[in-house]
Amino acid sequence: MNGGEPTATARTDPETNTDVATGDDDTAVSLESARDLLIDLVSTPSPSWEEAAAAEVLVAFFDEHDREVWVDDVGNVRAPADDAVLLTSHVDTVPGEIPVRVETVDTDDEVANAGEDVLWGRGSVDATGPLAAMAVAAVNAGVSFVGVAGEETDSRGARHLVTDRDVPEAVVNGEPSGVDGITLGYRGFLAGTYVATSESGHTSRPEPNAIQQAIRWWSAVEDAFDEEDYEPVFEQVTAKPVSLEGGTSDDGLSVEATLEAQLRIPPNLDADSVRETAEAALEVGTISWKETIPPVMESPRTTVARAFRVAIRDQGGKPRLLRKTGTSDMNIYASAWDCPMVTYGPGNSALDHAPDERLSLSAFERSIGILEDVAGRLRGEAA
């Protein structure tokens, strides 16, 4: 499945005194070109199910740098090379239009220091910034890359990928962690649809209708997963209703209610136990569950985690080990592939999906250097 490996140069790792492979200098991507790629991708709308135009931007980028590349059956952009590490992030974004522009920050803020350039636009943080940084690093370091489709909806790209390629030696999943952050854990994800029906009747009657039954069931679910305040959120089940629809049926003979629910699963639990607890609260109605995503918690002592700690320190940073309360494609990779992995990428994750989503361009450039360093170290260890 993998294409030919590009010619590589090498540098010396001061820790081990061994050569570490890097990419071919003739095809190296400059920081100016890296910025151009990032701005081009952010300027190309790519909400889930509409990623094709952004995928073509990536294909053109890899073509320009003499890399084998194609778009697969589900919309993933595949650019194979050295599988010592697979760099992968998602092409899709959530909907929302934010005027794309580069502005210089006047005073220090949560994103950049005074005098730095900041890129505004949907996806700049989640996760077009990490995606573009990985594409550049993959070319410069000569390693495999995949831009996956559908992470914000059904993760169809990641689900297809784990069945359609060999297991890489390591994975770096692209999501915003901050330049110095390394994400090792995510909670799992369980979604379900509750449906109830009751006979129609005058609203003065005391019997609960289907809408009340849906509300009562959800209140019981929240009570079942209620945790002490001192329990870290990462170790709790978070239960959220995401929509509730109800009313009298078209024929006027019944009241109907549909509640869409999402539950986040901590690593100390599994989907089956969370599902059983939610179903135990069910007195009226039915619930159908969608395919689950298991939680993941990686060791900080793997080769890829170590490579990031060294690379971040070499750039003057202080590595931070993170656990995220959400869910990512890393959960899917970890459940299918037995190899070390982390999630990494530039950007403040507090700005995910936000109306003021923006990314420091200096942070973006630093992240490319760290990714190239990590890829080189892992290629050197694999050699």
pLDDT at res. 46: 98
pLDDT at res. 231: 86
Domain boundary residue among 289, 312, 332? 289
Has residue 4 been placed in a domain? no
Tens of pLDDT, residues 257-311 = 999 999 999 999 999 999 999 999 999 999 999 989 999 999 999 999 999 999 9
* 303 shares its domain with 356: yes
pLDDT at res. 203: 81
Is the predicted pLDDT of residue 143 greater than 80, yes or no?
A: yes
Confidence of residue 6 (pLDDT cuts 50, 70, 90): very low
* 225 shares its domain with 172: no
* 118 shares its domain with 71: yes
pLDDT at res. 1: 35
Is the predicted pLDDT of residue 94 greater than 50, yes or no?
A: yes
Order of strands across the sheet that contains 238-248: 238-248, 254-265, 188-199, 286-289
- Domain holding 274, by residue range, is 188-289
The two tokens of residue 206 are 């005391």
- Of 288, 284, 257, which is closest to residue 190 (Cα–Cα)? 288
* 233 shares its domain with 354: no
| Nearest-angstrom CA–CA distance, 234 and 222 | 16
Nearest-Å Rg of the Cα atoms of the chain is: 23
Q: What are the catalytic residues?
A: 92, 151
pLDDT at res. 383: 56
Which of 84 and 250 is assigned the larger pLDDT? 84
The two tokens of residue 316 are 């003057």
* 36 shares its domain with 125: yes
Collapsing DSSP to helix, strand or coil, 33 comes out as: helix
* 88 shares its domain with 227: no
* 176 shares its domain with 320: yes
* 21 shares its domain with 117: yes
Beta 143-148 vs 82-90: how paired, if at all?
Answer: parallel
* 163 shares its domain with 280: no
Has residue 1 been placed in a domain? no
Mean residue pLDDT across the chain: 92
What is the average per-residue pLDDT within 177-203? 94
Q: Which residues of 156-183 are buried (b: 16+ CB within 10 A; e: fewer)?
A: bbbbbbeeebeebbbbbbbbbbbbbbbb
Is the predicted pLDDT of residue 9 greater than 60, yes or no?
A: no
Has residue 317 been placed in a domain? yes
CATH code for the domain of 368: 3.40.630.10
Helical H segments across the chain, by residue range = 31-42, 52-64, 128-141, 156-164, 210-224, 271-280, 303-314, 329-336, 361-382
24-28, 173-177, 212-216, 359-363: least confidently modelled range: 24-28
pLDDT at res. 116: 96
CATH code for the domain of 216: 3.30.70.360
Tens of pLDDT, residues 42-71 = 999 999 999 999 999 999 999 999 999 999
pLDDT at res. 197: 96
Domain boundary residue among 222, 255, 289? 289
* 276 shares its domain with 265: yes
What is the average per-residue pLDDT within 223-242? 90
The count of domains in the chain is 2
Has residue 3 been placed in a domain? no
Q: Is the pTM of this model over 0.75?
A: yes
Looking up tokens 């914000």, which residue turns up?
Answer: 152
* 48 shares its domain with 179: yes
Domain boundary residue among 264, 289, 314? 289
* 348 shares its domain with 325: yes
Confidence of residue 210 (pLDDT cuts 50, 70, 90): very high
pLDDT at res. 84: 98
Confidence of residue 25 (pLDDT cuts 50, 70, 90): low
